[in-house]
Structure 1
Amino acid sequence: MKASEVVRNIVKEKLARDEVVASITVRLVRGVEIVRLAATAGFDMIYIDLEHSTLTLEATGQICQAALHVGVAPMVRLPANTPEYIQRVLDAGALGVIAPGVRSAAEARAVVKAAKFAPLGERGAGGALPHLEYRPFPTAEANAAINDATMVIVQFECAEAVDKADEIAAVEGVDMVLVGVNDLLADLGLAGQHEHPKVREAYARTIEACRKHGKHVGVGGLSTKPKLAAEFIAMGARMISTGTDIQFLFAAMNEKAKQVREISAT
């Protein structure tokens, strides 16, 4: 068996077929049960949000390894785009990193450098990896397989990033740009105005740049605006971040409490 046959990334496979990827964000649940729920529901990708949660690296690794086992691609949004965080979450089992707040090609290159083994980057060797089921493979073969499976997703969260979309999308090793609408709107002084023309302009420019360089675009921050998300998918985006475990849990709880109140009122 070859290393490339052991490690697989369903997200990269679906993107290669020009299919849309469904993602759920984890901020609350510490246990691996969230992975089984995501897989049963039909999600392709789960990303653990270390930027906006108190989740530990230990919990992150357990969730990532469970995701590898059931065929859901585990990604991690970094709390900081530093080699120390990138190395540790990837060694823990992530198949990719989401780098928030990237503003330039230089920042994107730095993330790629930390996430990829040579010759694409400078990721350090950490021995047997969970992605390969801890099987021993020749180093060159293992590194090539991990490089191919590992994704680098950069987030656009400000006008400056959108203005530099072409040069950022051109960076070798960047696979996707995830547009963070809420932070982008805040940066533009338009907080909460999801339907503003500048949002469509930002997506149009980002999609154009990514298409030019053979990269993909993800839709973020529009979990409450499915029609708008669908519009950007029609324009060429190929991943939707559908919301967080907190949102899903609260929505179900709220609906059940509402049902009881309505029953009580009859």
Structure 2
Amino acid sequence: MSKIGSGSPNPLLSKMAAGELAVGMIVRLVRGVEIVAIAKTAGFDCLFIDQEHNSFSLETISQICIASNLTGMTALVRVADAGHASIARALECGATGIIVPQIETPEAAAEVVRAAKFPPHGTRSIAPCLPALDFRPTPAEEAMAAINERTMVIVMIESTDALARVGDIAAVPGVDMLLVGANDLANALGVPGQIGHPTVRDAFGQVAAACAANGIHLGVGGLGGQPEVAREMIALGARYATAGADVTFFTNAAIAHARKFK
């Protein structure tokens, strides 16, 4: 049975299950809840809070996640590593999904699922009054079931080892999406910066086929400056794409406006 279309209350999963493209904004610069309002005004479907490539504290992540939950936006956190503590603490901040980089084996993907899910699907520890439930006191069994249903598990495909086992990784129960890290994958394939290279395009096709065969979603990242490649990936079945990061948007807009006065 396909995992797509499970009826999850996670709005991002619901949109993708309906066959629509969900678009996320990476957050690497802004540390206040204002970024949630900005992303919502801009029309993004979710925030991709990047703990791997910046110095965000857990307090910052928590504030952005809670604000996202209150506005109905999905808050995804890319953790720094696949460690149980890294995953658990991001979810305790109120994230409704985790993105885990550098997953290369189905065993590693299964460990991610176990860390992200409460029993009976995983080993996550339960605490009272969780931010994902707006701190509402909820019986443990009910809370665990509700949060399990809405928590997305996303693993990144960024290496040749991951590509070699992509079918097995996609088949791991509980994985909702494979997200291709285009830049790191291009580096691994020996064509750094060449996102449109045929070798990279072929790798995207392999990941797309694995996702389709296992009824999970395909996500693409790093294509903000490659609209042609992005369109190809959407045609292959991608239902999630990151459109860029706050720091990139800010810098590009600042440069463009400064040039108007020179």
Q: TM-score, normalised by structure 1?
A: 0.94
| CA–CA separation in structure 1 for the residues paired with 2:195 and 2:132 | 38
Which residue does the alignment assign to 1:106?
A: 107
Which residue does the alignment assign to 2:248?
A: 247
| CA–CA separation in structure 2 for the residues paired with 1:121 and 1:134 | 22
| CA–CA separation in structure 2 for the residues paired with 1:37 and 1:75 | 16
- The aligned amino acid for 2:87 is I
Which residue does the alignment assign to 1:264?
A: none
Aligned-partner SS, 2:136: coil
Q: Report the CA distance between 1:212 and its aligned residue.
A: 0.9
Q: Report the CA distance between 1:133 and its aligned residue.
A: 1.2
Indicate conservation of the 8 Å contact 2:128/2:138, yes or no. no
Which residue does the alignment assign to 2:4?
A: none
Q: Report the CA distance between 1:105 and its aligned residue.
A: 0.2
Q: Report the CA distance between 1:237 and its aligned residue.
A: 0.7
| CA–CA separation in structure 1 for the residues paired with 2:53 and 2:119 | 31
| CA–CA separation in structure 1 for the residues paired with 2:203 and 2:188 | 12
Which residue does the alignment assign to 1:145?
A: 146
| CA–CA separation in structure 2 for the residues paired with 1:136 and 1:246 | 37
| CA–CA separation in structure 2 for the residues paired with 1:57 and 1:133 | 18
Q: Is 1:157 matched with 2:136?
A: no
Q: Report the CA distance between 1:239 and its aligned residue.
A: 0.5
Q: Report the CA distance between 1:199 and its aligned residue.
A: 1.3
Give the superposed CA RMSD: 1.0
| CA–CA separation in structure 1 for the residues paired with 2:79 and 2:220 | 18
Indicate conservation of the 8 Å contact 2:9/2:149, yes or no. no
Which residue does the alignment assign to 1:36?
A: 37
- The aligned amino acid for 1:30 is R
Q: Report the CA distance between 1:51 and its aligned residue.
A: 0.4
Q: Report the CA distance between 1:189 and its aligned residue.
A: 1.3
- The aligned amino acid for 2:241 is I
- Seq. identity, %: 45
- Any idea what the Cα deviations from partners look like across 1:54-74, whole Å, max 9, x if unmatched? 111100000000011111100
- State how 1:33-182 maps to structure 2 within 5 Å: 33-182=34-183
Q: Report the CA distance between 1:8 and its aligned residue.
A: 3.9
Indicate conservation of the 8 Å contact 2:117/2:148, yes or no. yes
- Any idea what the Cα deviations from partners look like across 1:83-142, whole Å, max 9, x if unmatched? 111111101110011000000001100100000001110000121111111112221111
| CA–CA separation in structure 2 for the residues paired with 1:169 and 1:8 | 22
| CA–CA separation in structure 1 for the residues paired with 2:10 and 2:44 | 13
Aligned-partner SS, 2:238: coil
Aligned-partner SS, 1:148: helix
Q: TM-score, normalised by structure 2?
A: 0.95
Q: Report the CA distance between 1:198 and its aligned residue.
A: 1.2
Which residue does the alignment assign to 1:210?
A: 211
Larger Rg: 1
| CA–CA separation in structure 2 for the residues paired with 1:162 and 1:210 | 12
| CA–CA separation in structure 1 for the residues paired with 2:152 and 2:206 | 22
- The aligned amino acid for 1:210 is C
Uncovered stretches (5+) of structure 1, i.e. residues with no partner:
1-6, 262-266
Aligned-partner SS, 1:238: strand
For these two proteins, the number of residue pairs brought into alignment is 255
Bigger mean CA offset, 8-17 vs 116-125: 8-17
Which residue does the alignment assign to 1:4?
A: none
- The aligned amino acid for 2:47 is I
Moved over 6 A (4+): none
Which residue does the alignment assign to 2:237?
A: 236
Aligned-partner SS, 1:178: strand
